[in-house]
Amino acid sequence: MIAAHGGRLINRIATGDQRQQLLAAAKAAPRLTLNSREVSDLEMIANGAMSPLEGFMGSADLDSVIQRCRLANGVVWPLPVTLSSKGGSFKAGKPIALVDEGGKLLGVLELEEVYSYDKDKEAQGALGTTDAAHPGVQYLQTIKGPYLAGPVWLLEMPTYDFANERRLTPRETRVLFKAKGWKTIVAFQTRNPIHRAHEYLTKCALEIVDGLLIHPLVGETKGDDIPAKVRMDCYVALLDRYYPKERVALAVYPQAMRYAGPREAIFHALIRKNYGCTHFIVGRDHAGVGEYYGTYDAQLIFNQFTPAEIGIMPLMFEHTFWDKVAGAMASTKTSAARGPEDKVFLSGTKVRDMLRSGQRPPVEFTRPEVADILIDSMASKTPV
C-alpha cells in the first residue's frame, strides 16, 4: 500500500496508561479553547491524516511553508497548520489542555514554542492575497495573540451532529481498501453536492483504478456553502442508485476549508495519500473562491514538484458540461459541440434560485434525487 507522506503514518491518539497520565496532567494544566478549524486540525494531526506533522507548526516550519511550500526539513507541505493563543499567556515547556468551545477536553499540547508571525506575509504566501474579502484572510484577522507550537495528543475524538459512523481514520481506510482488494484508489474531494459534472469526473477516474473514495469535507466552510448534513444525504442517495456499490466507498473528511486554491489542491492530495489513496482528482478551480485564482492554477502547481515528492497521482480534468450534440457529459477534450448553444452550463447562483422556488434543475445538471433533497432542505429552512 502507498506510503504515508514523509514515510510514516503518524499516530498521536493516546490510549491506555498514557491516556490516563495525560488526563491527570490536563486537570492541572492551563486550558485553551480551540475554534472549529483548530479542532479539525487537532483530529487530523492526531489520526495521521496530516502526516508527517505531529503537532501545530513552529516558526521555522511556518516560515518555510510560506516561502518554499515545504517544511523546514524540505518535505513538501503547502499550508500553515497553526494554533492561536487567543491572547492568553503560556510558557514553553508547560503542557496545555485543549478544549472545544463547549469546554470538552480533547487533547494536550506539549508546548515547545510561543512566537508571533506577520499575518500579511502569511496570507500572501499561503493564499496569494491580503484582500480582506477572501475568507482565509478573514480567518487570519480573527486570530489573536502569538502562535503556540508543539506535539499534540488526542484524548477524545470530536463528535459531529451527523455521520459519525462514516468518520474513518487513515488507518481504517487503509484496512478497508485492503479488505476490498483495492490496490489503486482515487479520491474525490468535494464541499458541494455531486452534480452531473462531478459524477462524470469520478466515473472517468473509476475506469482506470480499482476503487473510488468519495471524501467530502465536513469541517468549517463559508456561510453560504451547503451544510454538510444536507450534502451527506445527497451523497448517500446518489451512490445508492448511480454508482457500483462494490467499487465505491464514502467517508467524511473532517477538515476545515482554507479556500487557498492551488496550495490547497496540494494539501488535499497529500492528505488523501495518507488515507491510502493512490490517485486524486483535480478539476477546474479546485478549492477556489471568487476570482483569486486562475481556472487551472490548482493543476499547474503540481508541475512545481517531482512525482516522487508528491507521491500521489493527480488526475487532471477540464471544465465539463452537457453536450447537446452527444446527449452526454463531455469536456473540451471530448466534445463535438460547435458552439455555446450546444453546451449546457448552469451557474451555482441560477441553480440556487431554481431550488429556492421549488424547481428541479434540469437532469443535465443534477440527478432528481439530489435536487429533491436540496429542495426539501430549503423548504425546511435549513440554511443553504
Active site residue 303: no
Q: What is the DSSP letter of 210?
A: S
Cell of 50: 496530516
- SS3 assignment, position 146: coil
Rounded Cα distance between 171 and 4, Å, is 10
| Structure-block grid coordinates of residue 41 | 486540525
Q: Where are the alpha helices (DSSP H) in 163-219?
A: 170-180, 196-206
Q: How far is CA 350 from CA 101, 309, 345, 377, 379, in A?
A: 36, 41, 10, 17, 17
**Pair 120, 99: CB distance under 8 Å:** no
Mark 27-64 as b/e (b = at least 16 C-beta within 10 Å).
eebeebebbebbbbbbbbbbbbbbbbbbbbbbbebbbb
Known catalytic residue: 360? no
Q: CB of 280 within 8 A of CB of 272? A: yes
CA dihedral 340, 226, 230, 155 (to 10 degrees): 130
Tell me if the bond preceding 158 is cis, omega within 30° of 0.
no
The strand ranges marked E within the chain are 31-33, 55-56, 95-99, 105-110, 113-115, 147-154, 185-190, 211-216, 248-250, 279-282, 313-316, 320-323, 328-331, 343-344
Helices (H) and strands (E) in the chain — how many of each? Answer: 13, 14
Residue 5: closest CA among 77, 72, 57: 77
> Coil, strand, or helix at residue 169?
coil
**Catalytic member of 68, 171, 192, 360:** 192
Which one from 12, 191, 231, 258 is the annotated catalytic residue?
A: 191
Give catalytic residues, as residue numbers.
191-192
